[in-house]
Amino acid sequence: MAAARLAVVAGAGDLPRRVAEQARRTNRNPLLVGLKGFADPALVAEFDGIELSVGQLGKLMQVMRKEGCEEMVFAGAIKRPDFASLKLDLKGIHALPKVLAAATKGDDALMRAVMDVFADAGFRIIGADDVLDDLRVAAGAIGAIQPAPEHWLDIRRAAEVAAVSGSLEIGQGAVSCDGLILAVEAQEGTDRMLARIPELVAEIRGTPAARRGVLVKRPKPQQERRIDLPTIGLRTVEGASAAGLAGIAIEAGGALIVDRHAVARAADAAGIFIYGFTPAELA
């Protein structure tokens, strides 16, 4: 008996394609739903999907039921919408007070409220890593390069700051160099955060010729782990390399890597490490 169709609700980035391709390979016949303003329209067309506004909750449910979707996965980056100008259908209007109340508590609470709307309607929400079982980061080095003993000061320092930042719903990442915090991720995202580092004075940062400093990404303490886990890919490696960093550390079991083998090859070629750390290693 064929599995029920899987609805892939797509935001920005490479992750939606990876999830949809794997769902297709495993005979899940994915229904690709691109969120307007976020998803790549070419991806939606490739999978013969549909485009909807983030406020068309009722329309999305109607389409999923018609297409036989019992499960759904949110994949890709989605920024907080402008609620004042959001296009809403009747279901969206009905859910809006609950969603707005949750939004005042942060992005994680906001996403939980949206997921609750779909769960209450009978849909099962799964994580991208439930579809791509090799996506979640394992403990240890990803690639040939290990962090040196001197890098652990920066791994622990940036991990500490990222945990505090995450608890305040600011972001999931931070960069430390010799114990000095160079950058904290906020709404601009990891790529733009990394792009700021070469603008800092040379004395406090590394360079591609003399690498120093570490990017750490980890989940928020209150993270809804079926959605919006920290994710790295080739662009993260390219950004860390251009910023002169020595490596990237991500929490084992709490982050995702898109195209692991390509990412490992790129990190090795750049001379930087990628490492999945465990909580015990931060002690």
Choosing from 112, 131, 150, the residue where a domain stops is 131
Task: Tell me which residue of 233, 244, 232 sits closest to 270, measured CA to CA.
Answer: 244
Mark whether 151 and 86 lie in a shared domain.
Answer: no
Beta strand pairing status for 173-177 and 180-184?
antiparallel
Give the span between the Cα atoms of 125 and 117, in whole angstroms: 11
Mark whether 121 and 144 lie in a shared domain.
Answer: no
Choosing from 84, 99, 131, the residue where a domain stops is 131
Mark whether 154 and 65 lie in a shared domain.
Answer: no
What pLDDT, on the 0 to 100 scale, is given for residue 202? 94
Residue with tokens 């990237």: 248
Residue 4, Cβ density class (10 Å: 0-12 exposed, 13-18 middle, ≥19 buried): middle
Mark whether 213 and 87 lie in a shared domain.
Answer: no
Choosing from 79, 96, 131, the residue where a domain stops is 131
Mark whether 73 and 146 lie in a shared domain.
Answer: no
Mark whether 159 and 53 lie in a shared domain.
Answer: no
What pLDDT, on the 0 to 100 scale, is given for residue 1? 46
Mark whether 47 and 167 lie in a shared domain.
Answer: no
Give the span between the Cα atoms of 107 and 116, in whole angstroms: 14
Mark whether 113 and 152 lie in a shared domain.
Answer: no
Looking at residue 176, which CATH number applies to its domain? 3.40.140.80
Exposure of 120 in the CB half-sphere (CA atoms within 13 A) = 10
What pLDDT, on the 0 to 100 scale, is given for residue 13? 86
CA angle 235, 278, 17 (to 5 degrees): 35
Give the list of residues 6+ apart from residue 79 with CB closer than 8 angstroms, or none: 38, 187
Stretches where the chain sits below pLDDT 50 are 1
Mark whether 210 and 146 lie in a shared domain.
Answer: yes
Mark whether 161 and 244 lie in a shared domain.
Answer: yes
Strand spans (E) along the chain: 5-10, 31-35, 50-52, 69-75, 124-126, 140-141, 173-177, 180-184, 214-217, 231-232, 247-251, 256-257, 273-277
CB 162 within 8 Å of CB 217: yes
What pLDDT, on the 0 to 100 scale, is given for residue 84? 65
CB 7 within 8 Å of CB 33: yes
What pLDDT, on the 0 to 100 scale, is given for residue 136? 86
Domain total in the chain: 2
Beta strand pairing status for 69-75 and 5-10?
parallel
Give the span between the Cα atoms of 78 and 86, in whole angstroms: 14
* Domain around 267: 140-282
Task: Tell me which residue of 40, 36, 117 sits closest to 72, measured CA to CA.
Answer: 117
